[in-house]
Amino acid sequence: MTELVSYEPATGEELWRGVPGDVDAIVARARKAWPQWAAKPLATRIELLRRFTNEVRKDLELFAQTIARETGKPMWEARTEVESVIAKVEISVRAYGERTGQKKLDAGIQGTAAVRHKPHGVMAVLGPYNFPAHLPNGHMIPALIAGNAVILKPSEKTPATGEMLVNLLNRAGLPEGVVQLLIGGPDEGKAIVAHPGIDGVLFTGSAQVGIAINRKLATEPGKIVALEMGGNNPLVVWDTPLVSDAATLIVQSAFTTAGQRCTAARRLIVKASMYDAVIAEVKKLVDRIIVGAPFDEPQPFMGPVIDNATADQLTESFVYLLSNGGRPITHLRRPRQGLPFLTPGIIDITAMAQRPDVELFGPLLQVIKVDDFDQAIAEANNTRFGLAASLVGGTPEQYNRFWANVRAGIVNWNRPTNGASSAAPFGGTGFSGNHRPAAYYAADYCAYPVASTEMEQPRASVGVGFKA
């Protein structure tokens, strides 16, 4: 059996290795464990997940180091990710109570009308590599609270983090079989999605894979499918005297996590009269960015991208944009030979006749100059994606127009495109999702509503159409 190996992006050294899991055996264990887990009182499930947060706190530094080593992100950001894992439990408890609360209505002689929620069963969670703990955890915790069993298939690029996440849940005392790890690559991913013992698929990743999952399950309406995909996200800069602040928001939006966030700004749309001042400030700030390894001192702002293949693809994309009418503002460079470190790349594509509508998942920002606000909104909507959009500057009236007309599930004003709150819904339209937002609204796809009319004793009568 071929082993799966995880390498540290910042060093190229081997971090972890293991063999792919047995999909049938894992699903069978989950199906066996699920009924008892679903039958436990909600308070018991919540208490066990609160114990999980205590286990994470005990190993916070080790968990953060594992994430940093496996993704290449700086330690400050890895620690923030672990804190998000901890915070997710209480947020999910509140969300479950609010989104799936029980209701009972007295219907008089008709008895009682009730609404309660049931778990779906066994859920497959397919996680990404950019936030290998926080994002799958964002599916898993709401699913477990609701009473589902969960099988996590982490990205084949970050299996060590996925393994640690599942181990911490098991250490907290969740019953055997309720939370399991499936190690593997695309073949195991396809197998778990298509498995008849799976009742739901909760996916975070690229639009290409999400659409393939959607297509595969199109004839299986009984499976709940939640797709959290990428974005070709616009950030519009309009009139503001605070050019330095605008530049900071642009850099935060485009280059945090080396641009490896689904909410990262991919397209900067700038009013022509603001262009020179804004670009000059952005360039000054970008020149100060420290690109380095997770444990470097001083801490870097950006680590590497996930692997050399990704760095090569981004470099090729930059060259393609240059060759088709793009004008370089800052060049995308590989500062360390043989390792996937990249410096931020910024390219003006205003003159390009055909702009590719793809998610370039890394530190590459495309700039478009526009003359009026209607043109800015049209450019913002010039994409099949619809995850995040921000307006920086402008008036309250312009923000109202922007909010009303831009197609996105997250719309911000004078804030970055990224850094979404877990206490709000998270999702998008078009190629960004299938109208099942995650974060606070994850409870919606982790349980289904059941309507009941109930009486303690049978009581019925017949009326029209019966002989005396």
Long-range contacts of 242-248 (CB under 8 A, 24+ apart): 242/393, 243/274, 243/277, 243/278, 243/281, 244/281, 246/278, 246/281, 246/392, 246/393, 247/278, 247/281, 247/282, 247/284, 247/285, 248/285
- Give the pLDDT score at 102: 86
CA distance 263 to 438: 14
104 CA to centre of own chain: 35
Cβ(137)–Cβ(85) below 8 Å: yes
| Residue 14 bears catalytic tag | no
* pLDDT for res 441: 97
pLDDT at 108 over 80: no
pLDDT digits (tens, 9 = 90+) for 83-93: 999 999 999 99
pLDDT reading at 358 higher than 90: yes
- Going along the chain from its start, the domains and CATH numbers come out as 4-229+433-453 (3.40.605.10), 233-413 (3.40.309.10)
How much is the pTM? 0.96
Residue 181 banded pLDDT, cuts 50, 70, 90: very high
Mean pLDDT estimate for the chain: 96
Angle CA 241–243–249, to nearest 5: 125
Q: How confident is the model at residue 463 (pLDDT cuts 50, 70, 90)?
A: confident
Q: What is the pLDDT of residue 404?
A: 98
Judge whether residue 207 has pLDDT over 80. Answer: yes
Read off the amino acid at residue 110: Q
Identified catalytic residue from 163, 262, 281, 446: 262
Cis, peptide link before residue 298, omega less than 30° from 0? yes
pLDDT in tens, 380-396: 999 999 999 999 999 99
Three-state DSSP at 283 gives helix
pLDDT at position 1, please?
A: 64
How many Å apart are CA 192 and CA 23, to the nearest integer?
6
Instruction: Indicate if the pLDDT at residue 468 is higher than 90.
Output: no
Poorest-pLDDT segment among 11-15, 112-116, 238-242: 112-116
Structure tokens at 349: 């594509």
Distance of CA 309 to the CA centre of its chain: 22
| Exposure letters 293-310 (e unless 16+ CB within 10 A, then b) | bbeeeeebbbbbbbbbeb
Q: Alpha-carbon distance 295 to 76, whole Å?
A: 9
For this structure, is 446 an active site residue?
no
Q: What's the rounded mean pLDDT across residues 52-78?
A: 98
Closest C-alpha among 101, 102, 110 to residue 454:
110
**Inter-CA distances, 395 with 239, 398, 416, Å:** 8, 5, 17
Work out the end-to-end distance of the chain between its first and last CA atoms, rounded to an integer number of angstroms: 76
As a whole number, mean pLDDT of residues 166-170 equals: 98
- pLDDT tens track for 237-255: 999 999 999 999 999 999 9
Share of the chain above pLDDT 90, in %: 93
**Residue 21 or residue 101, greater confidence:** 21
Catalytic choice (81, 156, 188, 228): 228
What does the radius of gyration of the chain's CA atoms come to, in whole angstroms? 24
In degrees and rounded to multiples of 5, residue 133 shows phi and psi of -105, -55
